[in-house]
Amino acid sequence: MALEEKREKRPPVTPMMIEEEAALRNGSRGLPPGPWAEAAGPRPRTTERHIAVHKRLVLVFAVSILALLAVTMIAVLLSVRFEECGAAAAGPPRAGGNGSFSGAARQPPGAGQPPIRPQEEDEKARGGEAAVATEEKEEEEWQRRREMPPWARPRLPRHLRPLHYNLMLSAFMENFTFSGEVNVQLEVRNASRYIVLHAHRMHIEAVRVAEDKLAGGVRVARSFFYPQTQVFVVVLNRSLEVQKSYNLKIIYNAPIENELLGFFRSSYVLHGERRFLGVTQFSPTHARKAFPCFDEPIYKATFKISIRHQATYLSLSNMPVETSVFEEDGWVTDHFSQTPLMSTYYLAWAVCNFTFRETLTKSGVVVRLYARPDAIRRGSGDYALNITRRLIEFYEEYFKVPYSLPKLDLLAVPKHPYAAMENWGLSVFVEQRILLDPSISSISYLLDVTMVIVHELCHQWFGDLVTPVWWEDVWLKEGFAHYFEFVGTDYLYPGWNMEKQRFLTDVLHEVMLLDGLASSHPVSQEVQQATDIDRVFDWIAYKKGAALIRMLANFMGHSVFQMGLQDYLTIHKYGNAARNDLWNTLSKALKRVGKSVNIQEVMDQWTLQMGYPVITILGNETSDNVIVISQERFVYDSDAKPKDPTLGDNSYLWQIPLTIAVGNTSHISSEAIIWVSNKSEHHRIPALEEASWLLGNINQTGYFRVNYDIRNWRLLINQLTRNHEVISVSNRAGLIDDAFNLARAGYLPQNIPLEIIRYLSEEKDFLPWHAASRALYPLDKLLDRTESYNIFNEYILRQVASMYLKLGWPTNNLNKSLVQASYQHEELRREVIMLACSFGNKHCHQQAATLISDWISSNRNRIPLNVRDIVYCTGVSLMDEDVWEFIWMKFHSTTAVSEKKILLEALTCSDDRNLLNRLLNLSLNSEVVLDQDAIDVIIHVARNPHGRDLAWKFFREKWKILNARYGEALFMNSKLISGVTEFLNTEEELRELKNFIKSYEEGAAASFSRAVETVEANVRWQRLYKEELFQWLRKSLTH
User: Rounded to an integer, what distance in angstroms lies between the CA atom of residue 551 and that of residue 125?
Assistant: 61
User: Rounded to an integer, what distance in angstroms lies between the CA atom of residue 782 and that of residue 1020?
Assistant: 11
DSSP 988-1030: HHHHHHHHHHHH--SS-HHHHHHHHHHHHHHHHHHHHTHHHHH
Q: Which whole-number Å values give the CA distances from 758 to 473, 796, 801, 889, in the listed order?
A: 43, 9, 12, 42
Reduce the secondary structure of 498-514 to three states and give it as a string. Answer: HHHHHHHHHHHHHHHHH
User: Rounded to an integer, what distance in angstroms lies between the CA atom of residue 269 and that of residue 904?
Assistant: 19
**209-242 core/surface letters (b: 16 or more CB in 10 A; e: else):** bbbeeeeebbbbbbbbbbeebbbbbbbbbeebee
Q: Is 140 a catalytic residue?
A: no
**87-107 core/surface letters (b: 16 or more CB in 10 A; e: else):** bbbbebbbbbbbbbbeebbee
Question: Exposed/middle/buried for 387, CB within 10 Å: 0-12, 13-18, 19+?
Answer: buried
Q: Which whole-number Å values give the CA distances from 938 to 892, 918, 921, 962, 976, in the listed order?
A: 19, 12, 10, 11, 8
Q: Which whole-number Å values give the CA distances from 525 to 179, 552, 643, 654, in the listed order?
A: 37, 20, 13, 17
Length of the chain (residues): 1039
User: Rounded to an integer, what distance in angstroms lies between the CA atom of residue 779 and that of residue 753?
Assistant: 11
3-state secondary structure of 519: coil
Backbone angles phi, psi at 286, to 5 degrees: -120, 5
Among 21, 257, 422, 456, which one carries the catalytic annotation? 456
* Sign of the CA dihedral with 918 first, then 919, 921, and 927 last: positive
User: Rounded to an integer, what distance in angstroms lies between the CA atom of residue 240 and that of residue 856?
Assistant: 74
DSSP 821-857: S-HHHHHHHHHHHHHHHHTT-HHHHHHHHHHHHHHHH
User: Rounded to an integer, what distance in angstroms lies between the CA atom of residue 1028 and that of residue 1036?
Assistant: 12
DSSP secondary structure letter of residue 810: P
Whether omega before 402 lies within 30 degrees of 0, making that bond cis, reads: no
Which element (helix H / strand E) includes 237?
strand 231-240
User: Rounded to an integer, what distance in angstroms lies between the CA atom of residue 429 and that of residue 375?
Assistant: 14
CB 771 within 8 A of CB 504: yes
Interstrand relation of 626-633 and 613-619 (parallel, antiparallel or unpaired): antiparallel
Backbone angles phi, psi at 839, to 5 degrees: -95, 5
Q: Which residues participate in catalysis according to the annotation?
A: 456
